[in-house]
Chain A
Amino acid sequence: MKVLVTFTALLALAAAMGDEPSQASLVSSYRTIRPGQAFDVALRVQMKPGWHIYWKNPGESGLSPTIAWNLPKGWTASPIQWPTPERLDVATVVTYSYEKEALLLMRLTPPKGTTGPVMLRAKAKWLVCREGCLPAEASLALPLKIAASAVPDPTWNSALRVAQAKLPKPSADYTFRAWRSDKVIDLEIQPRRPELGLAQTVAFFPADEIIEPSAKQSVNTTGAKTDLKLQLSQYAPTSVGRLRGLLVAPKGATLPTGTDAITIDIPIETRKL
């Protein structure tokens, strides 16, 4: 009976998503836009249970999704604004991933004199993995009207606003400093106020390959100050200039700032002896 139920559930999913483990679409915060007025769109990737796609730093395997826009003349698109990913640890290989559904936001700016309607086109490529991986791509289109007053998309406007608000951002509540000593980067976090002290469960997600994703990060707190020891990756270039990444709360929790992650982008200093 249980098998039958599972099978029926699978059939329902298969009917909704076809045979592919993932599918992509473009969604917009507005159906009708105003000339010259920037607005948010997202590459929405829906995945079947168990499958995942990757963050801008995929980690120790995988590949980040890409999007190539084919926009009308005068239009511009921002790079993808990456939401906070989850750390996936599969047989000691650590990746930064999204499961179920990812909304990869971008801000589009139409030119002032634009007239419509328009059809925005983009080609998205992504890798979707479970135990194995499948490359996927889609040619996507987003039809929009243009008028003097904008009309929100009833389905997506609020969802994209929520997604935008949840994006990791820098925080003025902390000062960050990083020092390198041989193969270790010391990330020192000093809150502006003692009550902003971090729990020992915080983690650093590196935005590039200089930090080893699978290496243990030891977290030490002294008073309100927190110190993370990050292992340099064996694939890091000899000279590392900046430490870029996210300070992340454990899954389901938030940092004292009320957000799930803070963006860090600081120079790496050499410790004076």
Chain B
Amino acid sequence: MKTLPFLFIGLTALAAAGIRSGDKANVGEVTPNWTAADSVGKTRSVEDYRGKFVVLEWTNKDCPFVKKHYGSGNMQATQEKAKEMGAVWLTVISSAPGNQGYMAPDQINAYRKSMKVNSAATLLDSDGKIGHIYEAKTTPQIVVINPKGVVVYNGAIDNKPSTDVADIPTSTNYALAALKEGMAGKAVTVATSRPYGCSVKY
């Protein structure tokens, strides 16, 4: 009988922290921690960003869906907007060495410069470790994590699955919508959407 209040508190704490399912993080669950090197050699852990919104963006520079968003400047503008809102945007490359989209750190740095990439960093996830945690399927794909570490969005960049730049002005950007609602303390209306794009080249 005495143990009951303790158990109750324990359960409440667990509920507040969200539920973890092994090494994967579905929407509504707390992300497991991971650590990866970025293209300038800095080590980044997702736990370093507790207290901030984090956006993960899967990319592959040779994928036509990625080209749609980078060639038009839409991805860079979205990254800039997220930064203004106070979020940390991390671009992730999960392509295995030799596969399409893989780049060595210096190639990534040159690409970031030439494409004016506005994310905080590009992470090297050559072993696909981070990609598998969120089951990233496509490039681009977006995951939004709230300041408590809970995944609040996983899916497409927007609601127009195409390679057409002409579709961008009429698209709803799900990354920004999730940040906006999440930062306003609201539940994210579109918390999942089927990501569209090229397959991640694990």
Contacts and interface: CB of A to CB of B under 8 A. Distances in A.
Interface of A: 60-63, 90-93, 95, 125, 127, 129, 131-135, 209, 233-236
B26 A61 contact: no
Contact of A93 (B64, B100, B164, B199): B199
B116 interface: no
Contacts of B192: 234-236
Contacts of A132: 62-63, 100, 198
A234 B135 contact: yes
B69 interface: no
Contacts of A60: 137-138, 199
B161 A233 contact: no
Interface SS, B side: loop
B194 interface: yes
Contact of B200 (A93, A233, A235, A236): A93
B182 interface: no
Given A133-B65, A234-B27, 19 more contacts: A60-B137, A60-B138, A61-B196, A62-B198, A62-B199, A63-B161, A63-B163, A63-B196, A91-B199, A91-B202, A92-B202, A127-B64, A131-B201, A132-B62, A132-B100, A134-B64, A234-B26, A234-B135, A235-B154
Interface in B72-110: 99-100
A234 B154 contact: yes
Given A132-B100, A234-B192, A235-B194, A61 B64 contact: no
Nearest to A129: B198
Nearest to A208: B194
B149 interface: no
A3 B62 CA distance: 29
Contact of B137 (A93, A125, A129, A236): A93
Contacts of B63: 132-133
Interface residues of B, number: 28
Nearest to A133: B198
Contacts of A90: 199
Nearest to A237: B192
A168 B116 CA distance: 48
7 contacts: A61-B137, A63-B162, A90-B199, A127-B64, A209-B194, A234-B135, A234-B192
B193 interface: yes
A60 B161 CA distance: 12
Interface string B56-70: 000000111100000
A125 B162 CA distance: 10
B202 A133 contact: no
Contacts of B195: 235
A93 B154 CA distance: 17
Contacts of A92: 202
A61 B197 contact: yes
Nearest to A95: B199
Contacts of B138: 60-61
A131 B100 CA distance: 8
Interface in B156-202: 161-164, 192-202
B198 A61 contact: yes
A63 B99 CA distance: 21
Nearest to B197: A61
B13 to A, nearest CB: 24
Contacts of B197: 61
Contacts of A127: 64, 163
Kindly list the 6 A-B residue pairs having the minimum CB-CB distance in the complex, ordered from nearest.
A61-B199, A93-B199, A135-B163, A209-B194, A235-B194, A60-B137
B47 to A, nearest CB: 23
Interface string B111-142: 00000000000000000000000010110000
A66 to B, nearest CB: 9
Interface string B139-158: 00000000000000011000
A103 B98 CA distance: 34
A231 B99 CA distance: 29
